[in-house]
Amino acid sequence: MSVSLRPAEGVGNWLLDGLPEEGFERLRRELEPVTFALGEVVYESGGRMGYVYFPTTAHVSLLYTMLNGTTAEMGLVGNEGVVGIALFMGGDTTPNRAMVQGAGDAFRMKAKSMQTEFKRGGDFQHLLLRYTQALITQISQTAVCNRLHSVEQRLCRWLLMTHDRTHTDELQMTQEFISNMLGVRREGVTHAAHNLQSLHLISYVRGRIKILDRKELEAQACECYAVVKEEHARLRGWVARE
Amino acid sequence: MSVSLRPAEGVGNWLLDGLPEEGFERLRRELEPVTFALGEVVYESGGRMGYVYFPTTAHVSLLYTMLNGTTAEMGLVGNEGVVGIALFMGGDTTPNRAMVQGAGDAFRMKAKSMQTEFKRGGDFQHLLLRYTQALITQISQTAVCNRLHSVEQRLCRWLLMTHDRTHTDELQMTQEFISNMLGVRREGVTHAAHNLQSLHLISYVRGRIKILDRKELEAQACECYAVVKEEHARLRGWVARE
DNA sequence: ACTTCTCTGTGTCGTAGCGCACATATATTG
DNA sequence: CAATATATGTGCGCTACGACACAGAGAAGT
């Protein structure tokens, strides 16, 4: 009991690592490692959700597809959170789709187990709900951001959010892909990305984007990035570190 | 015990009325009626939240103000829900503001009481969480809607959402006000409203808008209205009634 | 009745971003 | 090493919407 089976740094997911030892020990039997490939669909809109996923190195995009086929992202989940909140919120499904945006690993847990654990009502429930609130902030900010900010500002914000959930400075994604996330044309992304490249904030070739100057990217992004990041930090019970 | 102190139709708020008798009896001592005036600020961004509010005839807008002063709405709460979810989600505050958009009544409950009741974990918690998920859907849909749909479509959607939370066919609000909700210029609203009036879907004069043809408004609105409405219905455990 | 305010209508102009068409450059495959 | 597929660059016309400026038409106060 006094010796943890969990590596000192934790398993790599904030929610799991935020648990006290005893809480984690019970949960760990329910966790099963999985690997996600780029583009894999985690949940289909309205579809049955058999598991919740705690990303460690993977990250997952929450997006909505309109009747006419156009898409836009409303949230992004990395190792700070969990994919599948509807399972413990009581809705079972959601009208949006979840898609792997960065290949990598995660732990999954059966829907049933999650619901049981959630109902216990202790630290785990607390963590999950606080995370959910942070996600709500993220989605809310996306709503206003989509309305009020330019493609270029939003691209900066999006690159930063993605970079935060990635372990390298090189993101693997095409402009076409990004356009589906931002809900704009591919050419719009090309244009904005071109600008950022000529400012030496990023560089890219065929589906590989390198982040060159995070600081400047943050300066070019809209305020939304900072708002969401600070709220995530606050809800983790931390003071954001400079 | 067998005789309810609650009127047969309920108190007028879905969450409160969704509770079984015993659950409600305990809660009712904590509830205090309040009246909201149009434009009243319920919560300031980041401000202390002393109460949660269960609207009955009032409705409240959740909105965000950018640094440059422009605003946009991300959600709307009427008698189907509760204002102040951060209090039970564990965040205590949110970065957005809540403002009364339709004058009327509500019940309020002290933050502390709410947290205590929520922790009991029974039906009340269940209802609150399911409502929260519906709200998330609403905000999500607003995010994609803001990105992909025209001012006129969004105005239709917004009028319908507001009408759903109002007891009359006459809404009291200026175009200037609506423009702050939709995150567009006042002239943009004037233009769209003008169109809708010439199609005889609405009529208006100086801050009074009459809904003339709901059915057609729904046809002119984007799909977002229906998606959110159905999801609300589903999460109430009902089948949407035609 | 007169002034003042608030709300809505309208026009002009600038720009962001869309749709489409197509050129170019880099991978991948046979 | 072609041939083909994929990713990015670019130009053009169009539309929605922004910023600004001001006119007219109820309300509301004096």
Q: What is the mean pLDDT of chain B?
A: 92
Asked if B95's CB is within 8 angstroms of A137's CB, the reply is yes
* CA gap B119, A119 in Å, rounded: 10
* CA gap B52, B107 in Å, rounded: 8
Q: Lowest mean pLDDT of A237-241, B35-39, B149-153, name the range.
A: A237-241
Q: How many CA atoms lie less than 13 Å away from B236 in the CB half-sphere?
A: 19
**pLDDT digit string, tens, across residues A186-226:** 999 999 999 999 999 999 999 999 999 999 999 999 999 99
Contacts of A123 in chain B (CB under 8 A): none
Q: List residues of B whose CB lies inside 8 A of any A CB.
A: 62, 64, 66-67, 70, 72, 74-75, 85-86, 88-91, 94-96, 119, 121, 126, 129-130, 132-137, 139-144, 146-148, 182-184, 223, 227, 231, 234-235
B38 burial class (0-12, 13-18, 19+ CB within 10 angstroms)? middle
Q: Are A196 and A178 in contact (CB under 8 A)?
A: no
Nucleotides of C under 7 A from a protein CB: 6-11, 16-21, 26-27
Q: Are A93 and A30 in contact (CB under 8 A)?
A: no
**pLDDT digit string, tens, across residues B149-177:** 999 999 999 999 999 999 899 999 999 99
> Phi/psi of residue B40, each to 5°?
-65, 140
* CA gap B196, B154 in Å, rounded: 12
* CA gap B108, B232 in Å, rounded: 22
Residue B219 has pLDDT above 60, yes or no: yes
Residue A3 has pLDDT above 90, yes or no: no
Residue A240, pLDDT score? 32
* CA gap B22, B223 in Å, rounded: 39
| A46 Cα distance to chain centroid | 20
Query: Å between B185 CA and D19 C1'?
Result: 10
Residue A23, pLDDT score? 81
Report pTM: 0.94
For residue B8, give every residue at least 6 positions away whose Cβ sits within 8 Å of its Cβ, in sequence order, or none. Answer: none
